[in-house]
A = this chain, B = another copy of it.
Amino acid sequence: MTLTEAPAQIFAGDPGSRVDFAIRAVTDHIRENGMRVGDSLPGEGHFADRLGVSRAVMREAFGALAALRLIDVANGRKARVGAMDGSIIAASLDHAVSTAQITVPEIWEVRRTIEVKTAALAAACRTDEEADRIVALAAEMVRSRDDMPTMTRIDIAFHEAIAKASHNALFVQIVASFAPLMEVAVPAAWRTRKAGSEPDVMLERHRRVAEAIRARDPAAAAAAMEDHFDAAVRNDLAAGGAN
């Protein structure tokens, strides 16, 4: 442990830096002990004694770590190492959009970049079970086309299933972080498509992505996902840009 080797000037700063020091001590403890998700951490009192900081400072540090989902203290239980959680990026995105730091079209451009890649990787890496699930979700979208909440839920599950099949856990988290925005944008886009053949085209594009992944064809999967986003950007953003 390096906790006792911390330079003395950390304690001389404002209370904020004492909390930062306590936060760093907990993350160092997790790292240096090779802890894994779900492992129990020592209590606030243990860290307070060892670091020579007050219980109040330690409580603030645990609060910040819990807010960042680095630890899990749900229902007042003993603190455990937290699982990576797309909701942290999602909260950042939501805040940045609502305060005009980023725009919805900017997020959609990032989504397209990420998901064209996850489609290609899924085609290369998917298991048979993953391919079956992706194809089944595309089919279920067709069946639920008149039930907006179900359709939205399945659309999100479709994109998350593709990310999982990429077998890259960071892509999974990033795609999960887009879900709250899709919950608003998908129904909005769908309403603008109600007229004419647009819904059929959209459902067909999802089916083509799924089939390319099943066929283990990365180039076709990437191209089909590009087409999906070309249509989505044309249609969704007129609607989704307002949220």
Contact = CB atoms under 8 A, between A and B. Distances in A.
Interface of A: 14-16, 27, 30-31, 35-37, 60, 63-70, 74-76, 81-85, 88-89, 91-96, 98-103, 106-107, 109-110, 113-114, 117, 168-171, 173-174
A240 to B, nearest CB: 15
A153 B68 CA distance: 27
Pairs A-B, 5 closest by C-beta atoms:
A64-B67, A67-B67, A31-B98, A84-B96, A113-B117
Given A16-B75, A89-B92, A92-B84, A37 B101 contact: yes
A161 to B, nearest CB: 18
A159 B60 CA distance: 35
A117 B59 CA distance: 42
Given A92-B84, A99-B30, A106 B169 contact: yes
A93 B67 CA distance: 15
